[in-house]
């Protein structure tokens, strides 16, 4: 090993992105791993969205992060480095939920959050005794993590490199979501002073909070928002819509510089609509209007394919969204990610069409829906998203809220993605539905 050991951190890409890559965010996981790396290490990045992987380079360790749709590519990259005798560590959500699978392509697997175990892993590597697994278990309600590093991202163009997390974990445990299995079932927040101190180091306005639910615990979110009010940042993040029940929270959100918030509404009917995270004594339309009136762009995410959904769900959802008029509607195909209760259920019921992880991207159907064929689900999803991005629908939404210019800009961007994507071809099996291993992109 050289005196300055070299660590290569890799973000695998599953497809080539054109100009859209300029609107991507850097991997926060890798920024955190870089921050947790002792200073004697040289840290390099290969973000495959922006550059080729330096397969011929000399490194003392390669670390690869992988969500489920990236796993196949991550394994292929790992195999190539290991063939050259370079040790590889895999981490992230997919290796955490399927460590046995990941172990076949790695010298070590990090299970759970990397920060608490990373320095130990590097010490062990240098001492020649790296273990096959490093596991961290979330505990308590205080999140203690280092400020993420941005210096090693230089030379690449992202929407912003100013990404940050104030909290991790979520108690709602939605059956399709990987957050609870990965980050635990309690909200853990950082000390507000620590977050605000990190935010003060940001030299540009645009900032993105990558919390899964930054407003999940309103009383812990409020001091952060109050502190942000004087910083002059413009930021976006994710939350669940129930935050809008609290008028003070909505007002603080606007004063803090929030310009966009992504909320998961998921379904207009059935158990998800009545879930504690969305079920409210207020109507969702009222809550959406409260946010819209502040001029904050509200992106409402819907999922198609739950067991109570039949073919009427597309029309019902489109009409519902016309009434509520969130700034940006987003539609996803239900995707049972490994590690979730939904995956276990569908797998038990023999409803998974395949386990080709690269297709688990919520734009393709990977399971057999209960009341539709996979093709009906796919075509209904595709038609619904086109319907809500017709120009008359876009203009109607934009005219109903404050902040019209920014709303229009968001809609135009999103419309480009909706009308510009490739259609997946679903070859039919003998029974008119998908067979095993089908649903490939052409």
> Crossing angle, helix 218-228 and helix 192-200, to 10 degrees?
30
CB of 29 to ligand SF4, least distance (A): 16
CB of 134 to ligand SF4, least distance (A): 25
Cα–Cα nearest to 275, from 182, 177, 192, 367: 177
Our finding on whether 172 is near ligand SF4 (CB under 6 A) is yes
Our finding on whether 263 is near ligand SF4 (CB under 6 A) is no
- Distances in Å between the Cα of 423 and the Cα atoms of 162, 352, 377 are 34, 21, 13
Q: Which residues contact 132 (CB under 8 A, 6 or more apart)?
A: 103, 107, 108, 109
The interface mask with ligand SF4, positions 302-341, x = CB under 6 A, is ----------------------------------------
CB 265 within 8 A of CB 284: yes
CB of 211 to ligand SF4, least distance (A): 9
> By rule CB under 6 A, what count of residues binds ligand SF4?
12
Tell me which of 47, 48, 113, 212 binds ligand SF4, using CB under 6 A.
212
Q: Which is nearer to ligand SF4, 179 or 249 (CB)?
A: 179
CB of 169 to ligand SF4, least distance (A): 9
Cα 406 from Cα 305, distance rounded (Å): 31
Residues from 62 through 101 that contact ligand SF4 (CB under 6 A): none
Our finding on whether 215 is near ligand SF4 (CB under 6 A) is no
Our finding on whether 130 is near ligand SF4 (CB under 6 A) is no
Q: Is 422 exposed, middle or buried (0-12, 13-18, 19+ CB in 10 A)?
A: exposed
Our finding on whether 107 is near ligand SF4 (CB under 6 A) is no
Tell me which of 181, 260, 264, 338 binds ligand SF4, using CB under 6 A.
264
Q: Which is nearer to ligand SF4, 180 or 364 (CB)?
A: 180
Tell me which of 149, 150, 220, 277 binds ligand SF4, using CB under 6 A.
277
By CB under 6 A, name the binding residues for ligand SF4: 170, 172-174, 177, 179-180, 212-213, 240, 264, 277
């Amino acid at each position: 090993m050289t005196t300055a050991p070299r660590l290569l951190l890799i973000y695998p890409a599953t497809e080539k992105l054109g100009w859209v890559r300029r609107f991507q965010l850097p991997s926060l996981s890798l920024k955190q791993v870089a921050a947790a790396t002792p200073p004697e290490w040289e840290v390099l990045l290969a973000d495959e969205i922006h550059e080729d992987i330096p397969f011929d380079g000399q490194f003392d360790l390669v670390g690869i992060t992988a969500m489920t749709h990236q796993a196949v590519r991550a394994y292929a990259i790992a195999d190539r480095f290991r063939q050259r005798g370079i040790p590889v560590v895999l981490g992230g959500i997919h290796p955490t939920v399927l460590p046995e699978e990941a172990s076949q392509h790695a010298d070590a697997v990090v299970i759970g959050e990397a920060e608490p175990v990373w320095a130990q892993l590097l010490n062990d590597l240098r001492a020649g005794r790296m273990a096959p697994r490093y596991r961290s278990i979330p505990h308590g309600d205080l999140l203690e993590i280092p400020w993420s590093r941005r210096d090693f991202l230089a030379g690449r163009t992202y929407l912003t490199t100013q990404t940050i997390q104030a909290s991790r974990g979520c108690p709602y445990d939605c059956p399709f979501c990987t957050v609870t299995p990965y980050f635990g079932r309690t909200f853990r927040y950082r000390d507000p002073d620590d977050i605000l101190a990190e935010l003060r180091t940001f030299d540009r306005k645009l900032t993105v909070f990558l919390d899964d639910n930054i407003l999940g615990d309103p009383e812990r979110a409020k001091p952060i928002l109050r502190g942000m009010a004087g910083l002059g940042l413009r930021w976006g993040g994710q939350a669940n819509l129930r935050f809008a029940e609290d008028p003070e929270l909505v007002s603080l959100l606007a004063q803090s510089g929030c310009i966009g918030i992504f909320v998961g509404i998921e379904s207009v009917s059935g158990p998800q609509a009545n879930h504690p995270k969305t079920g409210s004594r207020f109507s969702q339309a009222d809550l959406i209007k409260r946010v819209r009136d502040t001029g904050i762009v509200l992106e409402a995410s819907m999922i198609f394919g739950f067991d109570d959904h039949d073919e009427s769900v597309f029309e019902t959802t489109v009409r519902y969204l016309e009434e509520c008029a969130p700034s940006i509607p987003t539609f996803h195909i239900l995707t049972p990610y490994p590690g979730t209760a939904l995956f276990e259920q569908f797998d038990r019921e023999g409803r998974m069409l395949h386990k080709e992880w690269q297709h688990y991207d919520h734009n393709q159907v990977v399971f057999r829906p209960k009341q539709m064929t996979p093709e009906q689900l796919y075509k209904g999803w595709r038609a619904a998203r086109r319907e809500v991005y017709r120009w008359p629908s876009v203009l109607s939404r934009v005219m109903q809220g404050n902040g019209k210019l920014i709303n229009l800009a968001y809609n135009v961007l999103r419309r480009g993605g909706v009308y510009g994507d490739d259609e997946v071809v679903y070859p039919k099996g003998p029974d008119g539905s998908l067979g095993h291993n089908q649903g490939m992109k052409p």
